[in-house]
Structure 1
């Protein structure tokens, strides 16, 4: 004779509540882990506006942590290559987990072979990587939410400065 035990309704409900609570702990609150489309668009727009006031024609791209583009804004006079360059700079900043300007400086101060090793280790991403200043992670409360890339100013150090200025103004760090 096979004996089966039927859980009571209260036991079943408790198990469901525990499971849902566990899922909530694993995923965390959405507001703490993701950039909104509005924030991404505002970041990119403010970079382009600031650059235009300074006389530069740039594009800015914001990526989420999954490396998907959330927003790209291009100055009317920016070169046709700038949207792709800004995407690659943001992508690279996410991969290296620091501003691209710092990564380049630190790598070149060490050994050039380190850069080659990095590229080989990330060969599947090589079409999306670019080793130019102007890519900066977007951090809030110690969590990386994405990255912004800027391309088109007459020097990568200017792209980098534009991104950092706007991030700071909007309450983000890098």
Structure 2
């Protein structure tokens, strides 16, 4: 009799687990193949302008998905690109807009110290597809953050992601 009660209890618990699994939320993500496509497009865009850069793509979680170090790009560009991508994925905004916001509102300067992975310079953009934030793209190595951002935009366009205004 005890074995039958335990078996019935186990069956009921497993039914609850199935119901809970059905209720789990789903999250949009950027497939690695698309991340590689975006990163390549950004590197090639800057290369066509005569600049050797590195492009990083990070997932919404902030984890690096892709890092492409362009031929001739400096060693510092890996960290720059990754930090800009992390910043945009984390904040959901272009990294350059955050830099401008801090410059015009000094009390926001603490953002720079919030997380050591943040790089608050132009060249990072959030990756949004169908309105969903799925990551960030960061470019580092061009002579200015504005040029880095232009190349990042080409990466977004290559995968049909939304281009921030």
TM-score normalised to structure 1 length: 0.80
The size of the alignment, in residue pairs, is 160
Distance 1:51 1:162 in 2: 6
Q: Note the 1:116-127 alignment, pairs <5 A.
A: 116=110, 118-120=111-113, 122=114, 125-126=115-116
The alpha carbon displacement at 1:24 in A equals: 3.8
After the TM superposition, list the runs of 4 or more consecutive aligned residues in structure 1 that deviate by more than 4 angstroms: 4-7
Given the alignment of the two structures, is residue 151 of structure 1 paired with residue 140 of structure 2, yes or no?
A: yes
Given the alignment of the two structures, is residue 115 of structure 1 paired with residue 109 of structure 2, yes or no?
A: yes
Matched with 2:25 is 27
After superposition, what is the alpha-carbon deviation per residue over 1:63-114, rounded to whole angstroms, capped at 9, x for unaligned?
Answer: 11111111111111111111111001111112222001111112322x2121
TM-score normalised to structure 2 length: 0.84
Distance 1:96 1:165 in 2: 21
Distance 1:150 1:112 in 2: 26
Listed as ranges, the gaps of 5+ residues in structure 1 are none
2:81 to 82, 86, 94: 86
Distance 2:92 2:45 in 1: 25
Distance change >3 Å, CA 149–CA 143, structure 1 → 2: same
For the aligned residue pairs, the C-alpha RMSD in angstroms reads 2.5
Distance 1:19 1:136 in 2: 39
Matched with 2:151 is 162
The alpha carbon displacement at 1:12 in A equals: 5.1
SS of equivalent residue, structure 2 residue 147: helix
1:38 to 19, 33, 37: 33
SS of equivalent residue, structure 2 residue 24: helix
